[in-house]
Chain A
């Protein structure tokens, strides 16, 4: 810690000097243990690991010789807790407290590799020593998330030492607001929250909207099931989001900003609170930032758990202390938003892209991505995949590359069935579209969307009708209930799905779902209702045969829908061991004597599938 910096920075030169001093004091020859303390690693005990490292460093007398860096999410959440040891970038995974002394005495002190802690490539079965050689990371382009491993997530000094707030100093003292907006426009950056609206154009409209008081807002109300891309970024590198926000505020002419973060993200909330406090102490927020004459303050607001509050107008209503209900956007929020004043709201990831664009320039930024979508995109890669985690990829990469090269393929050697992008209102894309380049336009052409970055992989054991029902059930609960088509329409759709999945579907149902979907798309008030039919429409479009099997043959091909699934004993395989008899909670299976096949009474069966799970002989059939 540098003592001098208790004073506020009052000029760009002071920031430059501070950075020099931080770098000088940073003993670059010291080994660094970069330990992931992200949200996904926490249930695996990474907090205990941090304590263990501290104690063991003291015990082995290494406190001043080794830097222990507590960081945000490293990405490969599947294999947490994760540690990277520099120099060398040695990658250890799935650590326990017992591994700590050995890591220090062997790897850190002597440079020996501990084989059992290494990552195994699921594709080849080979052990990998260095982080950069792990296939999960190789194809990624971690422009935004990459810094997570370089900094302690609660240290502004770390952020400044890797060049943080340099972009802010540059814009405040060398660029006019118009130049900044022009740079962002030229970069081709599009909003990462889902709709993909060009960020520069949004800023420009907000800047030119009449009114003296304007607001900038960080939307950190990521509520999609399975998505935590914004969480990983905001908790791992809160200053990058804050720096982007301050730059945006200066470009737009706003003096007040808000971070709307969902309360279910305690780590992100804690870290952004720390970051805000640090930035204020360093004079990077407040009055006359770096001597530029620009004043800017930020407040944090916690979301109360409503999914719909991720919608910009509902979020603003919530910020105003009202019920989080959307309103019509015929007059855009950049003209009349929060308290009817021009307000620019961007997603966490959008804001974090800004310092990069300013530092590296729009021309550099444009080199990555596709014609209509520039830069990288962070996804939460989850579901039936080997390497679940947070990935950041260049726009235009194919779904196949993400799922097979980065994701390591489908878990348990099963067959891929579908991938859902864009959260509950996204679409489910089939195998035939695996070579689709991932960008805003291609995804929406295929009936899905980018969304805020959820990517859920499904295998052959997933029933697509059941999945559509799952997302409808989620949206039915999360609809704010204000407008009729969303409130009543999603409910009616879900009811049809209840019928289909319980074997009472009729052939008219698909047509009805399509008609109702069209009305939701056309006449719902906000994006929630307008996009709610996406999972329904895409599953009908790409997996119609599954719907027909449910409706016409009263059969669930994946064996998920209980009412349509029947278990039976395959007599020739059954050795009569009786394990299924013991496990069946319904006493639906009767023991008939050793070496005689058991007998099942289907009328008692509740289709829990436990018999199937416990039978080692594969003698329980499912149809």
Chain B
């Protein structure tokens, strides 16, 4: 166990825990976009920055990755944190100017108008947090998509920008995306995952006749858990 401070309050925590974990367990709000507790921390969006000091030297670190340590003094809302975080949100807003989540975040930070020249404002939804890619790899276990390119051209994409061959259509990427950048739609007996140019035939429930999940996803689960052939013939609602 280590003892340390967040915003003047003393906490005890297990070694190896991150500052963000301890803060959230204790109801201290630190904003994040690229973080999800089911997935390894990544440190891309930088919104969770805090100021830490041990002794005299204070520095800005990302709380999602920074491990707690004995005697650490963490400030989640120091002027330095706020000014950096405000600039980060400015950068997000300039990229995702029409995005609802980002706009809400900006207005919470008190940003009403972007400081970036209007002609350079973009209307992306994706802010390259990589949650979709990391979920597909770490939770689903198929790695059907990845981040491609470098720098400002970096984006999540299917291999060679062709229809994602390994995608099972589970939609985890769609559900986890914090900004709604991934477009998925079920129409009749087909699911469309537009970002990965993929289409999936949906399974029809033998009882209610509803199309309820992609056949490829159900096959993947069945094989992984060694389930009988007819295991998914009936949808969970009718079971």
Which residues of A are interface residues toward B (Cβ below 8 A)? Answer: 306, 308, 323, 327-328, 330-331, 476-485, 487-489, 491-492, 495, 499, 512, 515-516, 518-519, 522-525
Are A492's CB and B151's CB within 8 A?
A: no
Q: Chain A residue with minimal CB distance to B69? A: A330
Are B151's CB and A485's CB within 8 A?
A: no
Are A519's CB and B84's CB within 8 A?
A: yes
B216 at the interface (CB under 8 A from A): no
Q: Which of B198-232 contact A (CB under 8 A)?
A: none
Residues of B within 8 A of A480 (CB): 150-151, 154
Q: Indicate which residue in A488, A518, A525 contacts B43 across the interface (CB closer than 8 Å).
A: A525
CA distance A482 to B151 in the complex (A): 7
Task: Contacts A487-B151, A489-B91 given; indicate if A482 touches B44 (C-beta within 8 A).
Answer: yes
Q: Which of B45, B115, B130, B151 has the most chain A CB within a 10 Å cutoff?
A: B151
Q: Chain B residue with minimal CB distance to A526? A: B43
Q: Which of B62, B84, B87, B117 has the most chain A CB within a 10 Å cutoff?
A: B87
Residues of B within 8 A of A525 (CB): 43-44, 46, 62
B128 at the interface (CB under 8 A from A): yes
CA distance A488 to B124 in the complex (A): 12
- Minimum CB–CB distance for B159 against chain A, Å: 13
Are A523's CB and B46's CB within 8 A?
A: yes
Q: Indicate which residue in B42, B59, B94, B151 contacts A481 across the interface (CB closer than 8 Å).
A: B151
Residues of B within 8 A of A519 (CB): 83-84, 87-88
CA distance A488 to B91 in the complex (A): 6
Are A330's CB and B65's CB within 8 A?
A: yes
Residues of A within 8 A of B87 (CB): 485, 489, 515-516, 518-519
Are A484's CB and B127's CB within 8 A?
A: yes
Q: Which of B72-90 contact A (CB under 8 A)?
A: 80, 83-84, 87-88
Residues of B within 8 A of A518 (CB): 83-84, 87
CA distance A499 to B119 in the complex (A): 11
Q: Chain A residue with minimal CB distance to B149? A: A481
Task: Contacts A477-B150, A523-B60 given; indicate if A485 touches B65 (C-beta within 8 A).
Answer: no
B: number of interface residues (CB 8 Å): 37
Are A477's CB and B151's CB within 8 A?
A: yes
User: Known contacts A323-B147, A484-B127, A495-B117; can you find 7 more A-B pairs with CB under 8 A?
Assistant: A330-B67, A478-B150, A479-B151, A484-B45, A488-B152, A492-B116, A518-B83
Residues of B within 8 A of A327 (CB): 43
Are B43's CB and A522's CB within 8 A?
A: no
CA distance A154 to B36 in the complex (A): 53
Nearest first, the 6 A-B pairs at minimum CB distance are: A481-B154, A519-B87, A488-B91, A479-B151, A522-B60, A328-B65
Q: Which of A323, A478, A492 has the most chain B CB within a 10 Å cutoff?
A: A492
Are A523's CB and B152's CB within 8 A?
A: no
Q: Indicate which residue in A477, A485, A522 contacts B91 across the interface (CB closer than 8 Å).
A: A485
Are A488's CB and B94's CB within 8 A?
A: yes
CA distance A487 to B94 in the complex (A): 13
Q: Can you name 29 A-B pairs with beta carbons within 8 Å?
A: A306-B150, A323-B147, A328-B65, A328-B66, A330-B65, A330-B67, A477-B151, A481-B150, A481-B152, A482-B128, A483-B43, A483-B45, A484-B44, A484-B45, A484-B128, A485-B46, A485-B87, A487-B128, A487-B151, A489-B91, A491-B152, A492-B91, A495-B120, A499-B117, A518-B83, A518-B87, A523-B49, A523-B60, A523-B84
- Minimum CB–CB distance for B220 against chain A, Å: 24
CA distance A522 to B84 in the complex (A): 8
Q: Chain B residue with minimal CB distance to A325? A: B147
Q: Which of A327, A477, A484 has the most chain B CB within a 10 Å cutoff?
A: A484
B95 at the interface (CB under 8 A from A): yes
Residues of B within 8 A of A492 (CB): 91, 94, 116, 120
Q: Indicate which residue in B80, B88, B127, B150 contacts A485 across the interface (CB closer than 8 Å).
A: B88
CA distance A489 to B115 in the complex (A): 13
Q: Chain B residue with minimal CB distance to A488? A: B91
CA distance A477 to B149 in the complex (A): 10
Task: Contacts A478-B151, A480-B150, A512-B115 given; indicate if A328 touches B62 (C-beta within 8 A).
Answer: yes
Q: Which of B138-156 contact A (CB under 8 A)?
A: 146-147, 149-154
Q: Chain A residue with minimal CB distance to B52? A: A330
Residues of A within 8 A of B115 (CB): 512
Residues of B within 8 A of A487 (CB): 128, 151-152, 154
Residues of B within 8 A of A483 (CB): 43-46
Q: Chain B residue with minimal CB distance to A329? A: B65
CA distance A323 to B42 in the complex (A): 14
Residues of B within 8 A of A516 (CB): 87
Q: Chain B residue with minimal CB distance to A308? A: B150
Are B61's CB and A330's CB within 8 A?
A: yes
B92 at the interface (CB under 8 A from A): yes
Residues of A within 8 A of B45 (CB): 483-484
CA distance A117 to B76 in the complex (A): 68
Residues of A within 8 A of B49 (CB): 522-523
Q: Chain A residue with minimal CB distance to B61? A: A330
Q: Indicate which residue in B43, B92, B147, B152 contacts A328 across the interface (CB closer than 8 Å).
A: B43
Are B91's CB and A476's CB within 8 A?
A: no
CA distance A331 to B46 in the complex (A): 18
Q: Chain B residue with minimal CB distance to A519? A: B87
CA distance A327 to B42 in the complex (A): 8
Are A484's CB and B152's CB within 8 A?
A: no
Residues of B within 8 A of A523 (CB): 46, 49, 60, 84, 88
Q: Chain B residue with minimal CB distance to A529? A: B46
Residues of B within 8 A of A524 (CB): 46
Residues of A within 8 A of B91 (CB): 484-485, 488-489, 492
Q: Chain B residue with minimal CB distance to A516? A: B87
Q: Chain A residue with minimal CB distance to B89? A: A484
Q: Which of B82-134 contact A (CB under 8 A)?
A: 83-84, 87-88, 91-92, 94-95, 115-117, 120, 127-128, 130
Residues of A within 8 A of B94 (CB): 488, 492
Residues of A within 8 A of B120 (CB): 492, 495
- Minimum CB–CB distance for B123 against chain A, Å: 14
CA distance A488 to B116 in the complex (A): 11
- Minimum CB–CB distance for A348 against chain B, Å: 24
CA distance A360 to B33 in the complex (A): 54
Q: Chain A residue with minimal CB distance to B115? A: A512
CA distance A478 to B150 in the complex (A): 7
CA distance A476 to B151 in the complex (A): 6
- Minimum CB–CB distance for A463 against chain B, Å: 22
Task: Contacts A485-B91, A492-B91, A495-B117 given; indicate if A479 touches B152 (C-beta within 8 A).
Answer: yes
CA distance A48 to B117 in the complex (A): 56
- Minimum CB–CB distance for B43 against chain A, Å: 5
Q: Chain A residue with minimal CB distance to B42? A: A482
Q: Chain A residue with minimal CB distance to B120? A: A495
CA distance A284 to B239 in the complex (A): 69
CA distance A328 to B152 in the complex (A): 20
CA distance A308 to B150 in the complex (A): 10
